[in-house]
């Protein structure tokens, strides 16, 4: 059990993380909502709605109007005149994004109260029609809508208000699904009763203050009210009723003939904002003075609201701009009229969650199975897929799909997977380093062992000399010289296919067989026969040896040799005339010899001649100029030597190739035989003399 847990530890941690992310999405705390809102806002910023004109116009309480009429709130007679001027052009409806909670301070009764006048002394003043009365009559004579706002605290002087719209529902009770406030704030009873409609201007609280959505219907004092935009559409079309269709989930559709609006289960509409139009605004002072074309208001929905900085009715939108609050209601009206609003389908939420889980699982799985550079492609591919799906649904269906949280999940799970992969790769790398260190130690040890296998031929160097410079720790080349009598010697120089320890082991086996058979003083053909068949029987798969085997006599100066698939043997005389003797046999260790007669040897006399054998590491070795030495290069080295001895020749060739490069291309192995001086050196005595001279 413990072994299984350790094996799938990464996946178990990922599963816990995934469950945590899913639970967070289901609970949907404010910070998770803020992540989702990023994509919702990005859709509208990327593809903002652009309109050249609108059926909604805004009478702006701007700085110019404040300069004309003084501080706000103005006298109700100003608003009455504005309504009268607009009403002459026959607009669809006029809506006020303004409250009139107190009596007009310039009304006769308020003036008498303010100055403490005796009513009998100002009887004529009492006969003057008050501004609230004038405004009330103006409201009554127009398709007017006044604002009402939900509140959690009761306000003084309020009355038992009632919505103007009549709600008809089908499929359930909308009161069970709408947002509710225990109290409401509105205007004077007289003014509200004169208006044709009461519209809510309540926004839902957003943590970042951006208005993305609002409820089309809301409950105040246990009574349903439409939002300002919906009420304007109802009044503008002279409708009395609003129709609400419900299903088991909640509110499905809200209608004001001929317009039908699909909402979320709580009656919320997500606003599709357009870029602000300056042509949509007109100053309240211009309307008061009658400075406008009749067509500006005709058959339009007219909203009256404030853009003046000092009145603090400014809100932020998903487009990243700040606009007057009244423009939000203008956008709602336009969305309803154009049937062009945003939808947040409840079923989309389930799709988002399932899609997020699938993408996160696939990405994590790939991050554990394939190389990081490829898993990065999977991550970006998944990222792009999520973005394309979200934007496609927004563009073609006007639906809001949350891509921010899936991307958040995708990124978090991918980084987690990448971290686990990093840890695993580190473990593997550390393990490999340990293995490499162990192998290096083994190779070094094998190299030392191999060096001990090479014979000490220093006492023969007057007539035969060889050297080996390994390209790696372990060489695949070898040479050997075996003295079988005072006048007879066996020698070999070979190159094992491949590199490393395996080649070294193969070489060691071939060397031991050669030395054993040579010491028995067998004929050369029998020695080669025995070495070949023993190597074939050893079954080193795919490996073979190219070699030159030889036997020479210091008295007769004759050398008998066998070239088994090796480089051509170089022979030159005292005048440095060169001859190259090619191989007539395949490499040994490939096919079994069934008789000694299969081994073909050749005999030549070395009187006044030098016999040179080398591996392909010599001819194919790189010089300092980057070119290969080649057989021509070996000839050049020979020609440059004034005195030819086996040691001088071999050392000159090795020095030419082993010039200090970081890595040799191949092992350098070379052997030279020259029988003009057959005197054996007293090595021990020579070494003592060399040591003395050094001291």
For residues 399, 405, 407 and 409, what is the CA-based torsion angle, rounded to 10 degrees?
-140
Please report the pLDDT score of residue 27 as a whole number. 86
Q: Which residues of the chain have pLDDT under 50?
A: none
Alpha-carbon gap, residue 453 to 475, rounded angstroms: 11
**How many Cα neighbours within 13 Å face the side chain of 374?**
7
538-585: per-residue pLDDT in tens? 877 778 999 999 999 999 999 999 999 999 999 999 999 999 999 989
**232 and 199 Cβ atoms separated by less than 8 Å:** yes
**Cβ partners under 8 Å of residue 27, min gap 6:** none
Report DSSP state, residue 74.
Answer: P
Say if strands 241-246 and 166-170 run parallel, antiparallel, or are unpaired.
parallel
Alpha-carbon gap, residue 244 to 260, rounded angstroms: 10
Please report the pLDDT score of residue 265 as a whole number. 92
646-672 as b/e, with b when 16 or more CB fall inside 10 Å? bbebbebbbebbeeeeeebebbbbbbb
- Strand, coil or helix: 675: coil
Residues paired with residue 512 on neighbouring β-strands, in sequence order: none
Alpha-carbon gap, residue 612 to 653, rounded angstroms: 11
Q: Is the pTM of this model over 0.85?
A: no
Q: Is there a cis peptide before residue 429, judged by omega within 30 degrees of 0?
A: no
Alpha-carbon gap, residue 490 to 562, rounded angstroms: 12
635-694: per-residue pLDDT in tens? 999 999 988 999 999 999 999 888 877 778 888 899 999 999 999 887 655 555 555 555
Please report the pLDDT score of residue 546 as a whole number. 93
197-212 as b/e, with b when 16 or more CB fall inside 10 Å? bbbbbbbeebeeebbb
Please report the pLDDT score of residue 683 as a whole number. 67
**329 and 303 Cβ atoms separated by less than 8 Å:** yes
Q: Around Cβ 577, how many Cβ atoms within 10 Å?
A: 9
Q: Around Cβ 535, how many Cβ atoms within 10 Å?
A: 23
Alpha-carbon gap, residue 413 to 391, rounded angstroms: 23
Say if strands 166-170 and 464-469 run parallel, antiparallel, or are unpaired.
unpaired
Alpha-carbon gap, residue 666 to 664, rounded angstroms: 5
**How many Cα neighbours within 13 Å face the side chain of 607?**
4
Of 314, 304, 289, 282, the C-alpha closest to 69 is 289
Q: Report long-range pairs for 531-535 (Cβ below 8 Å, ≥24 apart).
A: 531/588, 532/564, 532/588, 532/589, 532/592, 532/593, 532/599, 533/592, 533/593, 534/509, 535/506, 535/509, 535/510, 535/588, 535/589
The correct answer on CATH 3.60.40.10 for the domain covering 456-681 is yes
CA separation (Å) from 70 to 78, 351, 379, 518? 11, 55, 61, 125
Measured CA angle at 324 (ends 319, 329), to 5 deg: 85
Length of the chain counted residue by residue = 695
Alpha-carbon gap, residue 231 to 225, rounded angstroms: 9
- Strand, coil or helix: 374: helix
**197 and 144 Cβ atoms separated by less than 8 Å:** yes
Of 208, 206, 234, 221, the C-alpha closest to 332 is 234
Domain-by-domain residue ranges, the chain? Answer: 2-29+345-428, 50-338, 456-681
**Cβ partners under 8 Å of residue 657, min gap 6:** 469, 617, 618, 621, 622, 623, 629, 664, 668
How far apart are the two ends of the chain, measured CA to CA in Å?
Answer: 71
**40 and 272 Cβ atoms separated by less than 8 Å:** no
Of 299, 276, 275, 303, the C-alpha closest to 287 is 303
Alpha-carbon gap, residue 475 to 492, rounded angstroms: 16
Q: Is there a cis peptide before residue 235, judged by omega within 30 degrees of 0?
A: no
Please report the pLDDT score of residue 15 as a whole number. 86
């Amino acid at each position: 059990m413990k072994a299984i847990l350790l094996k799938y530890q990464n996946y178990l941690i990922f599963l816990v993380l995934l469950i945590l992310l899913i639970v967070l999405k289901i609970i949907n705390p404010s910070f998770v909502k803020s992540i989702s809102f990023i994509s919702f806002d990005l859709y509208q910023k990327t593809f903002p709605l652009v309109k050249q004109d609108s059926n909604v116009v805004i009478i702006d309480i701007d700085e110019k109007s404040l300069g004309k009429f003084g501080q706000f709130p103005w006298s109700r007679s100003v608003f009455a005149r504005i309504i009268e001027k607009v009403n002459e052009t026959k607009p669809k409806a006029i809506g006020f994004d303004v409250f009139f909670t107190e009596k007009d301070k310039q009304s006769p009764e308020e003036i008498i109260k303010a100055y403490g006048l005796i009513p009998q002394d100002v009887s004529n003043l009492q006969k003057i029609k008050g501004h609230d009365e004038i405004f009330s009559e103006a409201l009554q004579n127009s398709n007017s809508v006044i604002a009402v706002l939900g509140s959690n605290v009761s306000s003084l002087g309020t009355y038992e208000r009632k919505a103007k719209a009549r709600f008809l529902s089908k499929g359930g009770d909308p009161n069970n699904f709408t947002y509710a406030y225990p109290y409401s704030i509105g205007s004077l009873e007289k003014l509200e009763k004169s208006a044709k409609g009461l519209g809510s201007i309540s926004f839902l609280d957003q943590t970042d203050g951006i208005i993305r959505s609002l409820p089309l219907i809301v409950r105040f004092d246990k009574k349903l009210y439409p939002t300002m935009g919906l009420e304007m559409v109802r009044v503008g079309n002279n409708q009395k009723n609003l129709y609400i269709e419900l299903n088991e989930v909640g509110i499905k559709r809200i209608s004001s003939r001929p317009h039908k609006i699909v909402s979320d289960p709580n009656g919320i509409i997500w606003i599709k904002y357009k870029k602000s139009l300056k042509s949509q605004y007109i100053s309240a002072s211009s309307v008061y003075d009658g400075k406008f074309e009749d067509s500006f208001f005709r058959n339009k929905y007219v909203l009256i609201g404030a853009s003046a900085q000092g009145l603090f009715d400014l809100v932020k939108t998903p487009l990243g701009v700040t606009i007057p609050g009244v423009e939000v209601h203008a956008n709602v009206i336009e969305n309803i009229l154009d049937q062009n609003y945003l939808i947040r389908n409840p079923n989309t939420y389930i799709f988002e969650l399932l899609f997020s889980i699938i993408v996160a699982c696939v990405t994590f799985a790939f991050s554990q199975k394939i190389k990081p550079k490829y898993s990065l492609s999977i991550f970006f591919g998944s990222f792009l897929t999520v973005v394309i799906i979200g934007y496609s649904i927004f563009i073609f269906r006007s639906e809001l799909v949350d891509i921010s949280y899936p991307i958040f999940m995708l990124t978090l799970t991918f980084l987690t997977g990448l971290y686990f992969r990093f840890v695993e790769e580190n473990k593997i790398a550390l393990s490999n380093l340990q293995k490499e260190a162990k192998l290096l130690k083994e190779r070094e040890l094998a190299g030392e062992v191999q060096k001990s296998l090479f014979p000490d031929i220093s006492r023969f160097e007057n007539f035969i000399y060889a050297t080996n410079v390994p390209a790696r720790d372990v060489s695949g080349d070898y040479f050997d010289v075996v003295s079988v009598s005072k006048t007879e010697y066996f020698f070999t120089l070979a190159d094992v296919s491949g590199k490393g320890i395996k080649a070294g082991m193969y070489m060691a086996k071939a060397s031991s067989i050669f030395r054993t058979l040579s010491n028995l003083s067998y004929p050369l053909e029998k020695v080669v026969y025995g070495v070949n068949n023993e190597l074939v029987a050893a079954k080193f798969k795919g490996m073979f040896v190219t070699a030159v085997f030889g036997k020479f006599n210091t008295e007769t100066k004759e050398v008998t040799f066998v070239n088994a698939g090796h480089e051509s043997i170089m022979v030159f005389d005292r005048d440095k005339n060169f001859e190259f003797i090619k191989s007539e046999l395949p490499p040994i260790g490939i096919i079994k010899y069934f008789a000694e007669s299969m081994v073909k040897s050749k005999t030549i006399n070395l009187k006044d001649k030098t016999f040179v054998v080398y591996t392909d590491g010599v001819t194919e070795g790189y010089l300092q100029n980057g070119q290969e030495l080649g057989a021509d290069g070996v000839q050049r080295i020979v020609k440059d030597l004034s005195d030819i001895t086996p040691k001088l020749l071999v050392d000159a060739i090795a020095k030419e190739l082993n010039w200090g490069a970081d890595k040799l291309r191949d092992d350098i192995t070379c052997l030279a035989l020259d029988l003009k001086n057959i005197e054996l050196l007293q090595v021990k005595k020579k070494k003592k003399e060399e040591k003395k001279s050094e001291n």
